[in-house]
Structure 1
Amino acid sequence: MATLMLQGMTRKDSAHISPSAHYTGFVWFRHGLSEPAFASDFGRFAHRVLAPISWAAKRAFGLDIERFLLQRHLLIDARLVQAIEQGGVTQVVEIACGLSPRGRRMRKRFPHITYVEADLPDMAASKRELLRVQGWLGAQHRVEAVDILAEEGPLSLASLFAGLDRTKPVVVITEGLLNYFERPVVERFWRALAAQLRGFSQATYLTELYPDLTEHPRYRQLRWGVWLIGKLTRGGYPLHYQSEAAIADAGKECGFREVRVLDPDRQPAELNLPRGELASLVRIVEARL
């Protein structure tokens, strides 16, 4: 199996993303977005250890980490619900699913949809067992192993999408993934994903980015926070683009026909997205083919 190796990135390096899935999984549970099965002991421990750091960042710099996590999760949810209810989407693929409760929530709300969760093999096996024990696993809700760095073979994107009906609309989600990789890796993934999605009657891709917002009133503190996140997750946490327009242009260059970049602070009030004193740092990207 050929594997992408860009700027020193190896499959071992990509595996460091999984521990953060436990932390965010506990955040979703803590805010009533998931069930107890998704709140791992490791996630609870990580949240407790990081609580003083999160409190200090919020108190000193106005950087509310959980607010950004909730904004991205809830806004992706809102766009997905609209795609299902108004766009006729019946297939959803969530790559780097970790301990995301989204598949469970969406299958409860829309039992007619097929929901495929995917992650690196070890994390996928854990998620599959979690769903099996709870009785949630089935033909329409399954977990597959994938490595976004794999160009071919059983862990490739082509293998992941092979089991879907290309005559029906599909939504693909990656949450909490892209900012762990350098820009060349992100854009190689986008090109590979766009190539796979061209075969579907209609396709939408939802993800989030933290752009390098130099005009943000707390930019220096933001850079400090990015450095800290990189240390805590044992890797870098690069900010790839300096504007919403740059994100949209990059998405189009990678093969997407239409790219919208959504600021949570500018979304309708009825979405009930958490707001703070400072402008949001996260942006949701909605790309279509």
Structure 2
Amino acid sequence: MSPRARTDSVHISPSAHYTGYVWYRHELSEPAFATGFGRFAHTLLTPLTWGVRELSGLDLENILLQRHLLLDARLGEAIEQGGVRQVVEIACGLSPRGRRFCQRYPRLRYLEADLPAMAARKRLLLHGEGWLDSRHRVRDVDILAEQGELSLASLFAELDRSEPVLVITEGLVNYFPLAALEGFWTRLAAQLAGFPQGIYLTELYPDLREHPRYRQLRWGIDVVGRLTRGGYWLHYRDELEIVAAFRKCGFAQVEVHDPDRIDIELPRLNMPSMLRVIEARAA
């Protein structure tokens, strides 16, 4: 793995503390997942996120909740109706999802993965609470590594190739430029193709220029990019471009879920949501 690849990945992890505290605030996780830094960051940024919401309409906290709950809903359906018994959450950060779903589904095997420093912290947290076992594990990964011990191939070598698998990434893909992102998806699709069923769940924020508050939203998104110490790319114009991109990367079936057009109960925004949850299946 090149030094450049490592540099490009590192800037994402600090935002995990902020989102981890949001989950805790809304009773989606246990106290162990709420760090002191997350509490400090949330308190410090509250006036700024309020200003962004008032000026642009971008309600960061409700968007984070929409994202998390919609991904949970699609994962739950894949387990209950699709026979999924092994899950990989890449860029797991301080996500409580592995803990919650292992409690809910006793037969589920859950593998969390992140960059080495974040994975070490997550492993220590789960171990300290007595939550790590043969069903729930944490490993190191770098989505930009094309080979070696941090690559997807190394991570997937731990899985049972005779059973379906679902991979989930949350709060990850919009931080990367297009070439790096589609390279990751291509490698991921190749790995998933080796299973009887391979599903990938993630979220995107397309560049919806027809959105009634596009200019204000674009400003708010730029602020988010600065807060997370990196760029925040809106790679695709619409759902057709999203579907085409995933198919180009090797996925055979692609569904785009819009929070405004689904039946499950989610926090609502005072304008059309820009969030899209993608459910892609490997060939």
SS in 2 for 1:190: helix
Amino acid across the alignment from 1:48: T
State the Cα distance separating 1:60 from its structure 2 match. 2.5
* Cα RMSD, aligned residues only: 1.0
Q: Which position in structure 2 is the counterpart of 1:78?
A: 73
- Partner of 2:29, secondary structure, is coil
Q: Deviations over 1:12-46 (max 9, x none)?
A: 23111000000000000001100000000011111
The one-letter amino acid paired with 1:118 is: A
Question: What does residue 253 of structure 1 align with?
Answer: 248
TM-score normalised to the size of structure 2? 0.98
Q: How much has 1:222 moved relative to structure 2? A: 1.2
**Match for residue 33 of structure 1?**
28
Pair 1:207-2:202 in alignment: yes
Cα drift, residue 62 of structure 1: 1.7
Partners of 2:77 and 2:50 in 1: CA distance: 34
Distance in 1 (CA, whole Å) between partners of 2:229 and 2:198 is: 34
Matched residue, 2:12: 17
Q: Which residue of 1 aligns with 2:41?
A: 46
The answer as to 2:269 corresponding to 1:276 is yes
Letter in 2 for 1:135: G
Separation of aligned partners in 2, 1:225 and 1:10: 27
Gaps of 5+ in 1: none
Task: Name the SS of the counterpart of 1:94 in structure 2.
Answer: strand
2 CA distance for matches of 1:12 and 1:184?
16
Q: How does 1:182-197 map to 2 (within 5 A)?
A: 182-197=177-192
State how 1:66-215 maps to structure 2 within 5 Å. Answer: 66-215=61-210
The alignment's TM-score, normalised by the length of structure 1, stands at: 0.96
SS at match of 1:260: strand
Number of aligned positions between the proteins: 282
- 3-state SS, counterpart of residue 248 of structure 1: helix
Q: Contact 2:256/2:277 (CA < 8 Å) preserved in 1?
A: yes
Give me the whole-angstrom Cα distance separating, in 2, the residues matched to 1:63 and 1:12.
29
Moved over 4 A (4+): none
- Between the aligned partners of 1:167 and 1:195, the Cα distance in structure 2 is 16
Determine the C-alpha separation between the residues in 2 that align with 1:148 and 1:219.
31
Letter in 1 for 2:126: L
> SS at the partner of 1:155?
coil
- Is the 2:71–2:277 Cα contact (8 Å) retained in structure 1? yes
2:264 matched to 1:265? no
SS in 2 for 1:206: strand
> Secondary structure, in 3 states, of the residue corresponding to 1:166?
coil
The aligned residue for residue 55 of structure 1 is: 50
Deviations 1:111-130 (A, max 9, x none): 11100000000000000000
Structure 2 CA distance, aligned partners of 1:139 and 1:148?
Answer: 24
SS of residue matched to 2:110: strand
Report the residue type matching 1:192 in the other structure.
R
Q: Quick one: which of 277, 280, 283 aligns to 1:287?
A: 280
* Cα distance in 1 between the residues matched to 2:230 and 2:51: 22
Output the CA distance in 1 between the equivalents of 2:225 and 2:49.
14
